[in-house]
């Protein structure tokens, strides 16, 4: 019946591409919201326009997912090894990648948007940038957990 009426939502199960689209679309909107809350309520985050903040949220989402993919790949390599040294290297490499990537991501934002995006404050803006990223990840995780609780 809904096939005959354009614009009516379907109850069909989404395919993998549709689920991925929904996941990343939602994540980018969450990141956009968090980023703009920091712009509005913090003197340390300045973004010149909504369009730039949307593009920044998109870039951050892509780079954060890339960082997590790299960390998981290296983690899997060390998880396949046995011994205390491998376990130490697993955690050390995870920390180094997850922490160090923030400097790379901040540099990428600077290259992509220049003076249109400014993270200022302690440690040349690194502290507030890490706070923004952590807030984004916490907000994304909270939404995922809420979604799963819906059943």
> pLDDT digit string (tens) for 55-109?
999 999 999 999 999 999 998 998 888 888 888 988 899 899 988 999 999 999 9
Q: What is the pLDDT of residue 25?
A: 95
State the Rg of the chain over Cα: 19
Q: Could you tell me if 128 and 42 are in contact, meaning their C-beta atoms sit under 8 angstroms apart?
A: yes
Mean pLDDT value across the chain: 91
Secondary structure of residue 120 in the 3-state scheme: coil
Axis-axis angle for helices 50-79, 84-113 (nearest 10): 160
């Amino acid at each position: 019946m809904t096939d005959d009426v354009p614009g009516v939502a379907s109850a069909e199960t989404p395919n993998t591409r549709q689920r991925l689209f929904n996941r990343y679309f939602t994540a980018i909107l969450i990141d956009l919201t968090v980023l703009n809350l920091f712009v509005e309520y913090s003197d340390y985050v300045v973004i010149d326009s909504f369009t730039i903040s949307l593009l920044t949220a998109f870039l951050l989402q892509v780079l954060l997912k890339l960082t997590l993919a790299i960390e998981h790949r290296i983690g899997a390599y060390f998880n396949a090894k046995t011994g205390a040294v491998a376990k130490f290297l697993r955690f050390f490499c995870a920390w180094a990648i997850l922490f160090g990537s923030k400097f790379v991501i901040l540099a990428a934002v600077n290259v992509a948007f220049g003076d249109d995006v400014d993270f200022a404050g302690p440690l040349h803006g690194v502290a507030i940038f890490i706070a923004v990223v952590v807030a984004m990840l916490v907000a994304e995780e909270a939404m995922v957990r809420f979604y799963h609780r819906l059943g």
